[in-house]
Amino acid sequence: MPLRDLPTESTAAAALLRTEELRHRRTLRRTPWQSAALACLAVGAVLSVLVPGPTGTDCYLWRATTQPVDGRGAALALPIAMLALVLADRLAADHFRYRQQVRGWGATGLAVITGTAWIGLTGQGRTGCSTSPAVIGVVTCGSLATAIAAVWAIRTQASRPVLPEVAEDSPDGPLNQSELREIFVRLTAQLDVPARRPIAPIVAGALAALLLLSTVLPWRELIDPVSIGPAGAEVGLARAQLWDLPYASAWALVVAACATATLAAATLTLVRPRALLPVLQTAAVATGCLTVTGVLTALLRLPARLSDGVGYRPGVGAWLGLGIGVLLLALGLALAVRRQSHGRALRVGALVVAGVVATAAGLVAPAAAAPQYEPRVVAGIPHPLLDLHGGQLVDRLGMRVAIGTSDPLDSIATRLDGTPGEWLLGRTGSEGSTVFEYRDGFALPRVSLSHGVTPPALLGVADDKLVMLAGGAAQKRWALLAVPLNLVAADVSLSHTNPDGTLYVTPGVDIYATGVGPALTHRNADHSIVVWGATSTWQIPANQLRVGMDLKQFLIAPGAGAAGNSVSSGPDGTTAWRNSETGLVLLRPGGQPQQVTGIAPAGCQLSSDMASSSLTVDSFAVDVRGDLWLGGSSPTAVLTPDGLLRRVPGPVTQVDSMEARPDGSLLLGVSPGGGDQVLEITDAAAAASSYPVLPEPEPRCDRRKAASGSTPYKVALLSGVPVADPPVTAEGVVGKAASGTNTELALDSRGRLVRLAVPSSAHAWAPDGQGGLWWTASGASGGEVAVHLAGGTATVLRDLAAPDQQGEVAAAAGDRLVRAIGGGLYDFYGPGREVSRVKVGGSLRQQGLVQLSSGDVAMVIDEQLLLVNRSGRSTKLFGGEATGWPVASTVPPDQWTTDGNWFTGPDGKIWGYDGRQLVRVDGPGRVTVVAGPTQGVPQAADDITVIGTALYFELGNDVVKLEPVL
């Protein structure tokens, strides 16, 4: 009986044929190596798209950019096309003819997309875009995918026969049940029906791969003011990948290592599932715990946003990593619960240990923020206020803030009312800066400033407005501005004016006051702001800053020389000001002004008496208890109310600026070896009296006893002496000369005292002691001329040939002039048109040349004061030591110092001024003290000019006139 006629045999044959058909279809649908390769290339293309281009090229494929990027759409579509080709091939598995067409058209599409991306990305003209890793990766993956798809399309599918022929004898009779069973077993044994592979390793491997992918996605996003401003949502959004975070390198490596280990375990589990499935469970649980704990810890460390929405938020990479971590943890626990076999307790214990270790690593490993900077604060000891390196601050999240001003204290501001808060000015370009709000170690951008070449000086914050001094360069406009902190950007360059002549600033910015530079500023401990310009000083209480205020109401001049100079005051009324280049004056409540610097001889060490110490004071500040702090090239010191000078502990030198704060602390702006640094002395006011007192001054330096002379003088303070241009050119011809920056006191044609501007082309100049002025300049014919301007009339003398003029110095007396031209050569002019030249050996000191009315000349040469006649014969008067005693001391004349200013006195003799007293040289080794502080002689004056019988002392912008009492 035939096989098909038996019911049991027919059913068995049908089942056998169906099984073979299924096996054949599985063979056709089985994913070959081309599908796996295309999937890998798709992943590579995605990673290439996510890689940012080089800095400054704008060649970004994933991140937002303000400029269009040609070819970005094709680059983004390339990995999608690869995955679509793999999926379409699987769907056409039962139709071989359609399957080949799908592969062929897929190869063509990949080629077109790759070419479009290449042409667009390389043809846009951006420097470095053609060599960007993103572009190279996209084009390489696309080219390889196109080649693989083309080979795949021409490949033929070789199928095996359904049932191989087996040579055997078949009986003609019907088969019994035993024979039928034997044939069925033999045929089914030939079928290769693979066992069902577990899906868990595939899911775990996919999750591990996605976790690796999340590390190159935006992990953290900074919402800056631009992103929430009128320009549109997320225009200024700054994204950072996990690998971009400076303090997350260890965390990123740990996450990548765990994800890679999980991926490897999943791959090996597909080969040996029974042996390696426990390893996969442990890896999944450890990776999940590490990722979840670390991501949550990183999110908790993000600072809170500001009231206007500025701040940080998690990116898509962080959320994706958190979700994948949860899924991996759930998958590992599910596999552990479902698996029933011996040794379960041991595996559960391993899972618990792995989870605990991974959780601890997620808590301890640095995730996305560095530890907050905590300085070692000791009351009275300077310590860095900010963690600055080379003048640059890096906050806990990697934000870099470069100090944007030459004075580092101008880049720091607090609230003007003393409440907590701190803002920093970070330079972002040659003419732009950004204001950051700094709190808890995080710097959040607030306002972008466009200020031109001169950066502003921050003063403080009041009513959510940042008060600053904008501009301030010489002969340029300056303004006190209040910039709202909720502005996106502000133009404070002061380079434009409105039609009505007022300064243009960004709408919303308030203008408190304006002026013409130069202008500098600092803050006082009494909640006031001091601004000083060329000739004026203003002190403005912080609570009186308002729009349209009148600066005349805030003019201050506590003493001679204060106008146009820095002034510092404390809440108790103690005031200090700079009255000259080297002088500093201190005034305590109910007392008299006290000169504390600029009167000690050169080379005097720091001592308990400040006036007897040689100090170079670059900055000073008065604190809340009346202590005067001093900084500069000398060691930092403080003068306490008991009159004793004390040295600040620690090697604190080169202090460029100081600020005494209302809370009693002190800020120091220093530049140690390049790069700005800000030091703070906590409780400086309370600790000042505990500093050790410096030793007693040396006898030659002691200035505690006031000098006194024999000539009484009448003192008058002259403020606002006008500046006038000479009525002749530099060659002495009637006309207008190009005026320079130097001025000399003189009398104009009407006999009024003026600051006469010296022509810019003048080589040397000197007052004549009668209200006139001498200067030398190049003549029109190429030679040298000497011009004497007196009473509005100029007299011109022709000079001798001087081919090698170096460091010209001049002195005059009436119609006589002497000029040093270098090399020991001196030209004598007058009387009349007489000109002669002599040579005197030795090195001439600056301001050490005196022309006497008798025709002789006094010179300070090699620490000696000499008297030289027109024939070159010299006579020593006194001196000889570099660090000698003051003139008129009881020591031998050879030990007297020649420091100070030497000039021709009203009586035609040699006079000297050492910053403290006036002396007259009567002969070799003989001097007379003319006057001292008790007779009204100003101290530490910048210059002295004799006009007739009067002496004029220049103190800053003020002039003190001394006339003898007849």
For residue range 569-613, what is the model confidence (pLDDT) as tens digits? 999 999 999 999 989 999 999 999 999 999 998 889 999 999 999
The pLDDT score that the predictor gives to residue 896 is 92
Instruction: Please give the angle made by the CA atoms of 738, 741 and 747, to the nearest 5 degrees.
Output: 80
C-alpha 119/C-alpha 547 separation (Å) is: 58
335 token code pair:
């596999």
- With the CA atoms of 457, 459, 463 and 466 taken in that order, what torsion angle do they form, in degrees rounded to the nearest 10? 10
Domain with CATH 1.20.120 in the chain: 29-61+68-154
Beta partners for residue 713, in sequence order: 964
Q: What percent of the chain has pLDDT over 70?
A: 83
Residue 763 pLDDT exceeds 80: yes
Q: Is the dihedral of CA 266, 267, 268, 272 positive or negative?
A: positive
For residue 520, report the phi and psi dihedrals to the nearest 5 degrees.
-130, 165
Q: Where are the alpha helices (DSSP H) in 684-745?
A: 684-687
Query: Under a CB-based contact definition with an 8 Å cutoff, are residues 242 and 248 in contact?
Result: yes
The pLDDT score that the predictor gives to residue 692 is 94
Q: Which of residues 148 and 722 earns the better pLDDT score?
A: 722
C-alpha 541/C-alpha 527 separation (Å) is: 6
Q: Give whole-number Cα distances, 268 to 149, 198, 254, 351, 629, in Å.
A: 28, 12, 21, 19, 73
Omega before 518 within 30 of 0, i.e. cis: yes
Strands (E), 698-783: 713-718, 723-724, 739-747, 753-759, 764-767, 773-778
C-alpha 122/C-alpha 126 separation (Å) is: 8
C-alpha 62/C-alpha 46 separation (Å) is: 10
Over the chain, what is the mean pLDDT? 82
* Residues whose CB falls within 8 Å of the CB of residue 445, separated by 6 or more in sequence, listed in order: 222, 224, 225, 310, 434, 435, 436
Q: Please report how the helices 133-153 and 33-50 are oriented relative to each other, as an axis angle in degrees rounded to 10.
A: 160
The pLDDT score that the predictor gives to residue 232 is 41
pLDDT band at 739 (very low <50, low <70, confident <90, very high): confident
Query: Under a CB-based contact definition with an 8 Å cutoff, are residues 89 and 32 in contact?
Result: no
C-alpha 371/C-alpha 364 separation (Å) is: 12
For residue range 905-949, what is the model confidence (pLDDT) as tens digits? 999 999 999 999 999 999 999 999 999 999 999 999 999 999 999
For residue range 26-45, what is the model confidence (pLDDT) as tens digits? 554 555 667 777 777 787 77
For residue 125, report the phi and psi dihedrals to the nearest 5 degrees.
85, 10
- Sheet containing 567-569: give its strands across: 567-569, 575-578, 584-587, 594-597
For residue range 38-87, what is the model confidence (pLDDT) as tens digits? 777 787 777 777 665 544 444 555 444 444 455 667 777 888 888 888 87
Q: Strand 864-868 relative to strand 874-879: parallel, antiparallel, unpaired?
A: antiparallel
- Cα separation of the two ends of the chain: 162
- In CATH, the number for domain 600-690 is 2.40.10
* Residues whose CB falls within 8 Å of the CB of residue 381, separated by 6 or more in sequence, listed in order: 649, 650, 681
C-alpha 584/C-alpha 604 separation (Å) is: 17
C-alpha 142/C-alpha 165 separation (Å) is: 46
The pLDDT score that the predictor gives to residue 195 is 46
Query: Under a CB-based contact definition with an 8 Å cutoff, are residues 598 and 940 in contact?
Result: yes
C-alpha 846/C-alpha 125 separation (Å) is: 61
Element (H, E) at 26: helix 7-29
Hey, is 964 helix, strand or coil?
strand
The pLDDT score that the predictor gives to residue 177 is 62
Instruction: Please give the angle made by the CA atoms of 115, 119 and 125, to the nearest 5 degrees.
Output: 165
Residue 842 pLDDT exceeds 90: no
Query: Under a CB-based contact definition with an 8 Å cutoff, are residues 278 and 344 in contact?
Result: no
Q: Is 497 exposed, middle or buried (0-12, 13-18, 19+ CB in 10 A)?
A: exposed
Q: Strand 489-491 relative to strand 442-450: parallel, antiparallel, unpaired?
A: parallel
Q: Which of residues 249 and 893 earns the better pLDDT score?
A: 893
Count of C-beta atoms within a 10 Å radius of residue 633: 11
For residue 307, report the phi and psi dihedrals to the nearest 5 degrees.
-65, -25
The pLDDT score that the predictor gives to residue 633 is 84
Residue 805 pLDDT exceeds 70: no
For residue range 636-676, what is the model confidence (pLDDT) as tens digits? 999 999 999 999 998 787 898 999 999 999 999 988 766 68
Hey, is 772 helix, strand or coil?
coil
Count of C-beta atoms within a 10 Å radius of residue 82: 30
Residue type, 195: A
Average confidence (pLDDT) over 247-253: 77
Question: Which of 321, 181, 183 has its CA nearest to residue 243?
Answer: 321
Q: Where are the alpha helices (DSSP H) in 232-343?
A: 249-271, 273-300, 316-338
81 token code pair:
């096309």
Q: Strand 645-647 relative to strand 655-660: parallel, antiparallel, unpaired?
A: unpaired
For residue range 426-485, what is the model confidence (pLDDT) as tens digits? 888 888 899 999 988 888 899 989 998 889 999 999 989 999 999 988 888 999 999 999
Q: Which of residues 353 and 850 earns the better pLDDT score?
A: 850
Question: Which of 918, 915, 882 has its CA nearest to residue 900?
Answer: 915
C-alpha 766/C-alpha 480 separation (Å) is: 40
Element (H, E) at 121: helix 96-122
Domain with CATH 2.40.10 in the chain: 600-690
CA of residue 509 relative to chain centroid, distance: 24
Highest mean pLDDT among 163-177, 265-279, 303-317, 926-940: 926-940
Hey, is 858 helix, strand or coil?
strand
For residue range 609-646, what is the model confidence (pLDDT) as tens digits? 999 998 889 999 999 999 999 998 888 999 999 999 99
The pLDDT score that the predictor gives to residue 190 is 56
For residue range 390-414, what is the model confidence (pLDDT) as tens digits? 788 888 887 888 887 888 999 999 9
Omega before 726 within 30 of 0, i.e. cis: no
For residue range 531-546, what is the model confidence (pLDDT) as tens digits? 999 889 999 999 999 9
- In CATH, the number for domain 29-61+68-154 is 1.20.120
Residue 265 pLDDT exceeds 90: no
b/e per residue 349-378 (b: at least 16 CB within 10 A):
ebbeebbeebbebbeebbbbbbeeeeeeee
835 token code pair:
């000109």
Query: Under a CB-based contact definition with an 8 Å cutoff, are residues 416 and 452 in contact?
Result: no
pLDDT band at 163 (very low <50, low <70, confident <90, very high): very low
- φ/ψ region of 760 (left if φ > 0, alpha if ψ in -120 to 50, else beta) reads alpha
